[in-house]
Amino acid sequence: MRVLVVTAVAAERDAVCAAAEPCDGMTLPGGHELRRAAGLPVALDALAAGVGPAAAAAGTATALTAAALAGQPYDLVVSAGIGGGFSPGPGSGAPLGSVVVADAIVAGDLGAESPDGFVPVTELGFGTVVHRPDPALVRAVAAASGAAVGPVVTVSTVTGSADRAAELAERHPGVRAEAMEGFGVAEAAAAHGVPVLEIRTISNAVGPRDRAAWRIGEALTALTGAFRTLPGALTATAGPAPEPHHP
Ligand SMILES: O=C(O)c1cccc(C(=O)CC[C@H]2O[C@@H](n3cnc4c(=O)[nH]cnc43)[C@H](O)[C@@H]2O)c1
């Protein structure tokens, strides 16, 4: 099984690689650097594609295309990194340092404002605003890593007020976390017909800005922990490798 992990920044990519060292580098067409982990039961490549959904989609599509052209397509793409956690409650939110696996990868602000509030792009007659990963895979990966499961919203503007946090929570019942790349990664994966997951570890609370309260180090450590458990969860759900085809 071949897995592409897409993070925003190098610190997140290195936290993923820390679960799977050695992680050797290679350069993709266009200059993105891909780190390849050796010695795991799954082949795992990690890419820091940049912050935001557009950079995430561009980097993911580049890596998927390069792999397909090399005759080594990926079987799974994972959007991974730190994220903001909504206020913890029963069946929603996520506390600092915790792990979230998305059962819905949602475009949080793709749409239009109207006098009656936000209108998602689908209601304008365009595209999609949600990708739903395979539920069995989500359950297996979450169980292995001790993660909460729920929607993760992708935004282009980090939430900085209680009002905006409340608006997103109302619009997306059960929402666990907010980040900036998952939907872009998922769009690229869908364009290539490759399954997708999103795994976030919580570095800050979604709401009023409070930089002193960020726990980026803890979230990166939790990311390494989650990726230590990923290969086992994937091999347990993948079943036996298909027989080679002899024409
Ligand atoms: O300046 C701020 O107030 C602020 C608050 C949280 C995050 C940022 C970032 O610039 C980080 C963006 C980066 O990290 C992910 N991330 C982490 N926490 C959040 C969040 O609460 N909302 C959205 N994204 C978050 C994100 O995926 C980016 O890769 C600045």
- Count up the domains in the chain and report the number: 1
CB 94 within 8 A of CB 148: yes
Our mutation pick for probing the ligand 1 site, out of 152, 156, 178, 180, counting the most ligand atoms within 8 A of Cβ, is 180
The answer to the question of residue 247 being in a domain is: no
- Using DSSP's 3-state secondary structure scheme, residue 169 falls into helix
pLDDT at position 41 is: 85
Residue 154: closest CA among 111, 109, 102: 109
CB 47 within 8 A of CB 7: yes
Q: Which domain range does residue 82 map to?
A: 2-238
Residue 220: closest CA among 203, 197, 195, 241: 203
The answer to the question of residue 245 being in a domain is: no
The answer to the question of residue 246 being in a domain is: no
The answer to the question of residue 37 being in a domain is: yes
Q: What residue has token string 């085809």?
A: 245
State in Å: Cα 218 to ligand 1 middle.
15
pLDDT at position 244 is: 45
Q: How does strand 148-154 pair with strand 177-179?
A: parallel
Low-confidence ranges of the chain (pLDDT < 70): 239-247
The answer to the question of residue 244 being in a domain is: no
State in Å: Cα 229 to ligand 1 middle.
25
- Scored b (16 or more CB within 10 A) or e, 32-52 reads bebbebeebebbbbbbbbbbb
The answer to the question of residue 108 being in a domain is: yes
- Copy the structure tokens of residue 82: 């730190």
pLDDT at position 240 is: 55
Q: Residue whose CA is closest, atom 8 of ligand 1?
A: 158
Q: What pTM was estimated for this model as a whole?
A: 0.95
The rounded distance, in Å, linking the Cα atoms of 201 and 214 is 12
List Cβ neighbours of 84 (8 Å cut-off, separation of 6 or more).
158, 159, 177, 178, 179, 202, 203, 204, 205, 206
The answer to the question of residue 154 being in a domain is: yes
The rounded distance, in Å, linking the Cα atoms of 135 and 140 is 9
The CATH code of the domain that includes 108 is: 3.40.50.1580
The rounded distance, in Å, linking the Cα atoms of 35 and 5 is 10
Pocket residues: Cβ below 6 A from ligand 1 = 8, 51, 81-84, 155, 158-160, 178-181, 203-204, 206, 209
The answer to the question of residue 161 being in a domain is: yes
pLDDT at position 24 is: 87
H/E stretch holding 99 reads: strand 99-107
Q: What is the pLDDT of residues 68-107, one digit of tens each?
A: 999 999 999 999 999 999 999 999 999 999 999 999 999 9
From the alpha carbon of 211, which atom of ligand 1 is closest? 3
Q: Residue whose CA is closest, atom 30 of ligand 1?
A: 158
